[in-house]
Amino acid sequence: MSDVRARVYDCVRSDPGVHFNKLERTLGLATGQVQYHLRRLTRAGRVTAQAIGDRTHYFEAGRYDDWERRTLALAHRETARELLVTLSKSGQARATTLADELGVVRSTVAWHVSRLTEAGVVEKSYDDSGRVELALSRPDATRRLLATVEPSVSARLLDRFIRLVDGGVYDRE
């Protein structure tokens, strides 16, 4: 394996669920180089690619099942990660409670919860008064996976921009 390919592989192994742009930035490589080496690693069965949302995420092949890959990919977003951490600590919560705790508007929580429930990471149930309660579908596994991933700078900036815009809209209501 070439030195560059080994660097790409090591980056994927050490940051499960890393997306293409972060690989480029982290490694300081040109787009074509990253594409070439990812293609070679994928064909060799060393790396698995999975499209989740608007990004393709990369994982060491055979290390994570489908649910784990989805969870790791979603946890790369700062707000989604904070939702998962909060649910991990509280056991279950309402969306309005999560919005208040995270300092975001409910629509932001709803957007992330929608993706997390589609991926099978979060489950919805209803309390006696018909309000939605949210909980992790696999709490222990989610906690284990959260310890392995940190949102990228770009993901944090994007989430913070959305919070800023949502906050501005929220303040005007």
Mean pLDDT throughout 134-139?
Answer: 94
Q: Which of 66-75, 129-138, 150-159 has the lowest mean pLDDT?
A: 150-159
Domain containing 112 equals 69-172
Pick from 63, 79, 95: which residue ends a domain? 63
Q: Which of 43-47, 50-54, 166-170 has the lowest mean pLDDT?
A: 166-170
Q: How many domains does the chain have?
A: 2
Tell whether 58 and 100 lie within a shared domain. no
Tell whether 59 and 76 lie within a shared domain. no
pLDDT at 168: 45
Specify the CATH number for the domain of residue 110: 1.10.10.10
Tell whether 98 and 116 lie within a shared domain. yes
Residue 163: which pLDDT band, with cuts at 50, 70 and 90? very low
Tell whether 52 and 108 lie within a shared domain. no
Tell whether 160 and 80 lie within a shared domain. yes
Phi, psi for residue 47 in degrees, rounded to 5: -130, 145
Tell whether 50 and 86 lie within a shared domain. no
Pick from 63, 85, 113: which residue ends a domain? 63
Tell whether 157 and 78 lie within a shared domain. yes
Pick from 36, 63, 90: which residue ends a domain? 63
- Percent pLDDT > 70 in the chain is 86
pLDDT at 170: 42
pLDDT at 130: 84
Burial class (CB in 10 A: 0-12, 13-18, 19+), 77: buried
pLDDT at 151: 54
pLDDT tens, position by position, 18-43: 988 889 988 999 999 999 999 999 99
pLDDT at 54: 80
Q: Please tell me the distance from the alpha carbon of residue 83 to that of residue 93, in angstroms, as a whole number.
A: 10
